Amino acid sequence: MRDVSSIHSLVANIGPFNEYSDIYSAQDSFDALQSSKVLIIGAGGLGCEILKNLSMTGFKDIHIIDMDTIDLSNLNRQFLFRHDDIGKSKAECATRFILERIGNSDLKITPHFTKIQAMGLDFYRSFQVIVSGLDSVEARRWINSTLYRLAQDENIIIPLVDGGTEGFRGQSRVIIPTLTSCFECSLDLLSAQTTYPVCTIANTPRLPEHCIEWASQLEWSRQFPGKKFDADDPDQVEWMYQTASTRAGEFGIDGVTRSLTLGVVKNIIPAIASTNAIIAASCCNEVFKIVTNVNPILDNYMMYSGDDSIFTYTYSYARKQNCAVCGSTAKTVAVQRWWTLQQFIHEIKSKQEIQMTNPSLTSGDKLLYISSPPELEEATRGNLSKKMKDLIHRGEEIVITDPNLPISLRIIAHLEGDDKDPEFSLQS
């Protein structure tokens, strides 16, 4: 059973850096702690730690949401799960474990076995704080922009505490919609993904690379225990390719090739329990401070590195004026005059600070390219082969949207260069 008596001393003694000591009330802080409704997004390695910490810190009303089910590979670090839980909902199993182990009559944990995108705005506006332990950049962008939309449209400000880990490294940050920088502001901090989270490849593959990693990391060891995969053996490569192709077909994913298979088989993110514990502790510390106001909250980004030693660094990440979510100005992008619209879309998709997977483009009342529904895609498909100089003029604003993200990115197209491909002209 949980004992939160030690929490009383934390809220009874205000921190030395608190700027509101003259109006601080220990009783109000403790009441806020017990009455606040907190949402945890993600019930993986980080989410399990966060749920355990918040449950032991005095919070009474906790919700946890995750679309994934438990895989054998999760058991070495997601400590709330057991072998009998394989195939079951992570959110539901984590909830059951905590309630059986430390629960009492005043602790309420509500699991949600679904995608975060499936929940409406009414669901999210009911929380005082949201803490994220996701490995999906797309999902983190979605919840970030959703909370900003609530802040801008309804003046409802819900703090987001975001945590992430990769091997021996991790970060935690506090995002206050309209007041601080947001997750979208820092997209260019993320390195181009050449490694893939274990949870994603095991349960919810979305890319051909996920299917290859599943075949490499999980299925190979099941079929050939104790045997190391040899990328120079054509028979083993063929097995890996065929297995990944079958997996991709089951999830309706295209793009698995032999060359791609060889290119990604060594790129696995090591999931380390100690890193999850450190980042989860930092996230929960911030949730506690936001709710109780006992100490100033993080301003606003903490990075951790444990590769060769223990190193942390905290700094204030500035807002970007041209951020698609919290900024007020458009982003200027250099556009070669000879590019086709198809080439421009490829450039947009490859830019680290944009990261859109299925973009649609409009300019004023012109539909440049609409990726869905199929009728509009077919109607605008002819523009893909047209040159940018024939579709837009210099300095024209292009609005880019993606069906997977509730944002609109404004781009000022800076046309430059020749009308013809310089490489083609040189070859001619």
- Asked if residue 326 is part of any domain, the answer here is no
Instruction: Say how many C-beta atoms besides its own lie within 10 A of residue 192's C-beta.
Output: 7
Q: Which of 287, 315, 343 is the last residue of a domain?
A: 315
From the list 141, 144, 154, 153, the residue with the least C-alpha distance to 177 is 144
What is the residue-averaged pLDDT of the chain? 87
Asked whether residue 51 falls in the same domain as residue 128, the answer is: yes
How many residues make up the chain in this entry?
428
- Distance from C-alpha of 406 to C-alpha of 145, rounded to nearest angstrom: 7
From the candidates 48, 199, 211, 283, which is the catalytic residue? Answer: 199
What was the pLDDT predicted at 270? 67
The side-by-side arrangement of strands in the sheet containing 108-112 is 108-112, 61-65, 37-41, 129-132, 160-166, 169-175, 301-305, 311-315
What's the CATH number where 258 sits?
A: 1.10.10.520
Q: The domain that contains 150 carries what CATH number?
A: 3.40.50.720
Q: Verify that 348 and 369 share a domain, yes or no.
A: yes
What was the pLDDT predicted at 191? 64
Taking residues 325-340, report their average pLDDT.
87
Q: Say whether 185 is catalytic.
A: no
The per-residue pLDDT for range 206-215, each reduced to its tens digit, is 888 889 989 9
Residue 31 lies in a domain: yes
* Number of domain units in the chain: 3
Within this chain, do residues 359 and 382 fall inside the same structural domain, yes or no? Answer: yes
The reported pLDDT for the residue numbered 302 is 96
Q: Are residues 96 and 40 in the same domain?
A: yes
The answer to whether residue 124 is domain-embedded is yes
Only one residue has tokens 């994913």, namely 253
Q: What average pLDDT score do residues 340-353 get?
A: 84
Amino acid making up residue 367: L
Instruction: Convert the pLDDT of each residue in 302-321 to its tens digit.
Output: 999 998 899 999 999 999 88
On whether both 247 and 345 belong to a single domain, the answer is: no
Pair 168, 114 in one domain: yes
Hey, what are 404's tokens? 């997977």
Does residue 157 sit in the same domain as residue 246? no
328 exposed, middle or buried (CB, 10 Å; 0-12, 13-18, 19+)? exposed
Together in a domain, 56 and 104? yes
Helix (H, G, I), strand (E, B), or coil: what is residue 294?
coil
Q: Is residue 320 part of a domain?
A: no
Same domain, 213 and 185: no
Whether residues 113 and 206 fall in one domain: no
Domain termination residue (choose one: 222, 242, 264): 264
**Percent of residues, the chain, with pLDDT higher than 90:** 48
What pLDDT digit, counting tens, does each position of 106-164 carry? Answer: 899 999 999 999 999 999 999 999 999 998 888 999 999 999 989 987 889 999 999 99
Query: Is the pLDDT reported for residue 348 higher than 50?
Result: yes
Give the per-residue pLDDT at 426.
40
Q: Identify the band that residue 279 occupies on the pLDDT scale cut at 50, 70 and 90.
A: very high
Classify residue 426: in a domain, yes or no: no
Is the bond into 300 cis (omega within 30 degrees of 0)? Answer: yes
| Residue 428 pLDDT greater than 50, yes or no | no
With b for 16 or more beta-carbon neighbours within 10 A and e for fewer, the 308-327 pattern comes to eeeeeeeeebebbebbbbbb
pLDDT at res. 385: 92
d(CA 49, CA 276): 7
Question: Do the domain assignments include residue 425?
Answer: no
One domain for residues 207 and 291 = no
7-51 pLDDT, tens digit each: 888 888 887 887 777 788 888 998 999 899 999 999 999 999 999
CATH number of 351's domain:
3.10.290.20
Least confident of 79-93, 147-161, 168-182, 186-200: 186-200
Q: Residues 365-375: what's their mean pLDDT?
A: 89
On whether residue 308 sits in a domain, the answer given is: yes
* Shared domain check, 286 and 203: no
Share of the chain above pLDDT 70, in %: 95
Least confident of 23-32, 265-274, 373-382, 412-421: 265-274
For residue 135, which of 185, 199, 80 has the smallest C-alpha distance? Answer: 199
- Split at pLDDT 50, 70, 90, the class of 427 is very low
Closest among 344, 342, 336, 388 to 366, alpha carbons compared? 388
- Between 269 and 337, name the one with better pLDDT: 337
- The boundaries of the domain holding residue 235 are 198-264
**Within a domain: 424:** no
Confidence of residue 242 (pLDDT cuts 50, 70, 90): very high
Q: What is the pLDDT of residues 188-204, one digit of tens each?
A: 887 665 566 777 788 88
405-416 vs 360-363, strand pairing mode: unpaired
Output the pLDDT for position 26: 86
Q: Report whether 90 contacts 115 (CB < 8 A).
A: no
Lowest mean pLDDT among 69-78, 83-92, 245-254, 311-320: 69-78
Q: What's the CA angle centered on 303, arms 300 and 306, to 5 degrees?
A: 160
